[in-house]
Structure 1
Amino acid sequence: MADLGESPTHSPPGAVQQFFRRVGETKQNLLDKATPYTAFRWTCTIVLFLIYGLRVYLLQGWYIVTYALGIFQLNQFIAFLTPKVDPAFQEQDDDEDGPSLPTKSNEEFRPFMRRLPEFKFWYSASKAVVVAMICTFFEALNIPVFWPILVMYFIILFVITMKRQIRHMIKYRYVPFSHGKRRYQGKEDSGKVVS
C-alpha cells in the first residue's frame, strides 16, 4: 500500500517534450518581438496572401480552399470591426458594469475596444493563409467546382455583411479606427510652485 503523504515522483521531461517546449518558447519570443511592428506584420501577411493567390492561379485549382479562406478572413474582419460590448445588447442590459461606447454627447470618451484585437486578427489571418497554402499541396482538397459562382457568392456575402456592419456603426455612432491618441492643449507649466 502506497504512503499517501508522499508526493509522486515525476520523471524529468523527455527529449521530445523539451523540444516542443523550446519551439513554443521560440515562437512566443518571435511573436513578442513582432508585436510593435504593425505595418511590417501586415505587409508580410499581404505578401503571403499574394503568393497564395499566385499559386492558386498558376495551378488552376483549390477554389474551395480559397473560398473557405475568404469566408474565414471575412468573419475575422467583422469581429475586428465589432465592439467587444455590443451596444445593441447593452441597451437591453443597462446593469452591466463593463466598458462601453458613449451613446450621448455628454458622456465620457471611452476607447474603442474590439471583439478581436488587431494582433490576434493578424495572427489568425497569417495562420489561415499558411494553412491554405499547405492545403494546396494535397490533391484530395482540389475539388472541382465552377469558380465564378463561388466568386459571385463571396462578393454578395461580403456586400451584405459589410452593409449590415456599416449600418450598425452608423446606428450606434462608433468608428472602429483611430489615427493616434487625442492630444489636448492646455496651459504650459512654468515649473513655478505657487504657495
Structure 2
Amino acid sequence: MSEGDSVGDSVHGKPSVVYRFFTRLGQVYQSWLDKSTPYTAVRWVVTLGLSFVYVIRVYLLQGWYIVTYALGIYHLNLFIAFLSPKVDPSLMEDSDDGPSLPTKQNEEFRPFIRRLPEFKFWHAATKGILVAMVCTFFEAFNVPVFWPILVMYFIMLFCITMKRQIKHMIKYRYIPFTHGKRTYKGKEDVGKTFAS
C-alpha cells in the first residue's frame, strides 16, 4: 500500500464498495441518533420496552443468566457514572486551580455536569441490551449457573455501590438531578432587532 492510500481505498484510488456501504450506514445511524436527541421520554420508553422483551426472552428460554448478570453490572456502572460529577470533588478538595461545587447558599451557582451525560447513558444502555439479546441466540453464552446466587450477589453489589454513592453525594453536597432545583432566567426577549 502506498503512502497516499487510505484504509478504505481500492487499487484505483476510489473507495471500495464495502467501505462506502459502511460509511453510509454510519451516517444514517448517526442521523437517526441526532433526530432522537430531543425525545428523551420516548427514547427511554423504547429502551424499557427492549429490556422487557429481553427479560421475557430469558424467562422463556430459562437460560443465559450470566449474560443477564453481565448486563446488570454494565447498567449499574453506567448508572453510577450518570450520578457522578464530571470532576470528582474529593480530588479538587486540596487544589484551588479548578471549579468546585458550591457548598454555601451565597456561593456562585454552578450547574451539575455529569461524568456520563443522559444521552450517552441511554445510548450505551440500549446497545448493551441489544448485545445481550444477540448473545441469547448463541448457545455458547448459555453457561449453566445457579441463578439465585447471581441475583443475591447483584442485589448486594447494588446496595453497597449505591450506599457509597449516596455517602459521596452527602459529603460533597451535590444533587445529580435538576428536579426541584432553583432555575435562573434571563431577561425576556422583546423581539426588536437593530439593523446595521
Question: Normalising by structure 1, what TM-score?
Answer: 0.87
Unaligned runs of 5+ in 1: 1-6
How far does residue 102 in structure 1 lie from its aligned partner after superposition? 1.1
How far does residue 103 in structure 1 lie from its aligned partner after superposition? 2.3
- Name the residue aligned to 2:70: 68
Rounded to whole Å, the distance in 2 between the matches of 1:181 and 1:42 is 25
SS at match of 2:78: helix
Matches within 5 A, 1:36-115: 36-96=38-98, 99-115=99-115
Structure exhibiting the larger radius of gyration computed from Cα positions: 1
How far does residue 104 in structure 1 lie from its aligned partner after superposition? 2.7
- Name the residue aligned to 1:156: 156
Matches within 5 A, 1:26-37: 26-37=28-39
How far does residue 184 in structure 1 lie from its aligned partner after superposition? 5.2
Question: Normalising by structure 2, what TM-score?
Answer: 0.86
User: In percent, how many aligned pairs have the same letter?
Assistant: 66
Distance 1:12 1:145, change over 3 A: same
Deviations for 1:37-91, whole angstroms, at most 9, x for unmatched residues?
0000000000000000000000000000000000000000000000001111110
Q: Letter of the 1:35 partner, please give it.
A: T
Rounded to whole Å, the distance in 2 between the matches of 1:121 and 1:31 is 13
Distance 1:185 1:93, change over 3 A: closer
Alignment partner of 1:182 is 2:183: yes
Deviations for 1:2-28, whole angstroms, at most 9, x for unmatched residues?
xxxxx9477011111110110000000
Distance 1:184 1:21, change over 3 A: closer
Rounded to whole Å, the distance in 2 between the matches of 1:156 and 1:168 is 18
Rounded to whole Å, the distance in 1 between the matches of 2:13 and 2:113 is 45
Q: Letter of the 1:67 partner, please give it.
A: Y
- Name the residue aligned to 2:145: 145
Rounded to whole Å, the distance in 2 between the matches of 1:111 and 1:12 is 48
